[in-house]
Amino acid sequence: MTALPAIALRPARRLVTRAALAASLLGLAGAHALPSAHAALSAGAQAPTFTAEAALAGKPFTFDLAQALKEGPVVLYFYPAAFTQGCTIEAHLFAEATDTYKSMGATVIGVSGDDLDTLKKFSVSACGGKFAVAADSDHSIMKNYDVAHAVLPGVANRVSFVISPEGKVLYQYASGDPSNHVRNTMEAVRAWHQGAHAPRNNPEKQ
Is the pLDDT at 172 greater than 60, yes or no? yes
Specify if 87 maps to a domain.
Answer: yes
Specify if 27 maps to a domain.
Answer: yes
Question: Sign of torsion, CA 79 82 84 86?
Answer: positive
Give how many domains the chain has, as a whole number: 1
The answer to whether 112 and 78 are in contact (CB under 8 A) is: yes
Q: CATH number of the domain at 58, please.
A: 3.40.30.10
Specify if 139 maps to a domain.
Answer: yes
Helix (H), strand (E), coil (C) string for 153-206:
CCCECCEEEEECCCCEEEEEEECCCHHHHHHHHHHHHHHHHHHHCCCCCCCCCC
Specify if 141 maps to a domain.
Answer: yes
Residues 125-149: tens digit of each pLDDT:
999 999 999 999 999 999 999 999 9
Q: Which of 29-38, 64-73, 171-180 has the lowest mean pLDDT?
A: 29-38
The answer to whether 74 and 106 are in contact (CB under 8 A) is: yes
Specify if 31 maps to a domain.
Answer: yes
Question: Sign of torsion, CA 20 21 24 29?
Answer: negative
Specify if 12 maps to a domain.
Answer: no
Specify if 73 maps to a domain.
Answer: yes
pLDDT recorded at residue 9: 32
- pTM beyond cutoff 0.85: no
pLDDT-derived band of residue 198, with 50, 70 and 90 as boundaries? Answer: low
Q: How far apart are CA 31 and CA 179, in angstroms?
A: 8
Specify if 149 maps to a domain.
Answer: yes
Q: Which domain holds residue 119?
A: 17-196
